[in-house]
Amino acid sequence: MTTQENTQTLPAFHIVIPARYASQRFPQKLMADLGGKPVLQWVYELSLKAGAQSVTVATDHDVIYQAALEFGASVVMTRDDHENGTERLAEVADKMGWKADEIIVNVQGDEPLLPVALIHSCVAALNRDKEAEMATVACSIDDVADFFNPNVVKVVCDEMQRALYFSRAPIPWDRDGFADIDRKEGSLPVDFPALRHIGLYVYRASLLAKYADLPMSPLERWEKLEQLRFLHQGIKVQVALADGLPTHGVDTPEDLEKLRDQLSF
């Protein structure tokens, strides 16, 4: 994993944890028990360790609102018509009155073991690139099956480490080397620049303020990748590089059981 940035060198930033109660694959997963406390509480506590100016849980459901209050979180009730976590972040930023240049980190409520170092790396990347309005994270892809897996989102970057494109397709393409490659057990070329996108996002408040007015892009509609909406509008997205893939979050009951085993609960 990336080396943790010295918090004294980081700019001030806020963390918002969008916390939706309903989930198609795993209803109420944020309230599921993990070692004697809800998954959401793990996420809140790791966020506190990041040294943010504020950590806020943003939800539209009374159960999560009350649970967050019980474990001492700062919590904001948001509208129930948001299509995604970015919209919920935008509402919180507006309610909090954060200034245009303030930095807001979107930490998913189902990532109880997200490394704090990733948060720092992503914040630092955005802070270094004054023209970028948001940042995200990627790591190298070593497994050929992952590279050809449409559920593994890939990203290609320019020389300034800004995203050129995100796709479920295998990009970039080795025109000569992939002619006869075994997509399950083959090997990627040495030093092949394949990057896997990790869904951690950091925004400037100014971008969140205009997010609601950004229409869905045609590429986003086909790929089902929200980040393509930003690229379609010419918004610069800085990409921080991680040394490896962080522990998977809680998408299914099986994921929760794996985490319990990992933590010996």
Q: Determine, yes or no, domain membership for 7.
A: no
Report residue 239 as tokens.
Answer: 């990409």
Q: Determine, yes or no, domain membership for 8.
A: no
pTM for the predicted model, two decimal places: 0.91
CA distance 35 to 120: 26
Q: In one letter, which amino acid is 105?
A: V
Q: Determine, yes or no, domain membership for 2.
A: no
Q: Span 175-191, mean pLDDT?
A: 87
Residue 248: what are its φ and ψ, rounded to 5°?
-65, 145
pLDDT of residue 133: 98
User: Looking at the 3D structure of the chain, how many domains does it have?
Assistant: 1
CA distances from 230 to 133, 155, 164, 219, 223 (A): 9, 14, 11, 11, 14
Q: pLDDT digits over 131-180, tens only?
A: 999 999 999 999 999 999 999 999 999 999 999 999 999 999 999 889 88
Closest CA to 242 of 119, 133, 111, 107: 119
* Greatest distance between any 2 Cα atoms in the chain: 58
pLDDT of residue 7: 60
Q: Determine, yes or no, domain membership for 175.
A: yes
Closest CA to 136 of 200, 64, 62, 188: 200
Dihedral-angle region of residue 24 (phi above 0 means left; psi in -120 to 50 means alpha; beta otherwise) = alpha
CA distance 59 to 190: 45
CA distance 235 to 203: 11
Is the pLDDT confidence value at 93 over 70?
yes
Is the pLDDT confidence value at 196 over 90?
yes
Residues 6+ apart with CB under 8 A from 47: 15, 17, 55, 107, 119
Q: pLDDT digits over 49-89, tens only?
A: 999 999 999 999 999 999 999 999 999 999 988 888 899 99
Q: Determine, yes or no, domain membership for 19.
A: yes
pLDDT of residue 101: 95
CA distance 118 to 60: 27
Closest CA to 251 of 54, 112, 47, 48: 112
Q: Please, which pLDDT band fits residue 265 given cuts at 50, 70 and 90?
A: low
Count of residues making up the chain:
265
Please tell me whether the peptide bond between 172 and the residue prior to it is cis, using omega within 30 degrees of 0. yes
CA distance 244 to 259: 18
pLDDT of residue 179: 85
Q: pLDDT digits over 3-56, tens only?
A: 455 566 899 999 999 998 877 778 899 999 999 999 999 999 999 999 999 999
Q: Please, which pLDDT band fits residue 1 given cuts at 50, 70 and 90?
A: very low
Residues 6+ apart with CB under 8 A from 243: 1, 2, 139
Full domain range(s) for residue 189: 13-263
Q: Determine, yes or no, domain membership for 1.
A: no
Q: Determine, yes or no, domain membership for 3.
A: no
Report residue 106 as tokens.
Answer: 């979107």
- Residue 91 belongs to a domain with what CATH number? 3.90.550.10
Residue 161: what are its φ and ψ, rounded to 5°?
65, 30
pLDDT of residue 82: 87
pLDDT of residue 3: 47
CA distance 44 to 38: 10
pLDDT of residue 74: 97
Q: pLDDT digits over 217-259, tens only?
A: 999 999 999 999 999 999 999 999 999 999 989 989 999 999 9
Q: Determine, yes or no, domain membership for 28.
A: yes
pLDDT of residue 6: 58
- Mean pLDDT over each residue of the chain, to the nearest integer: 93
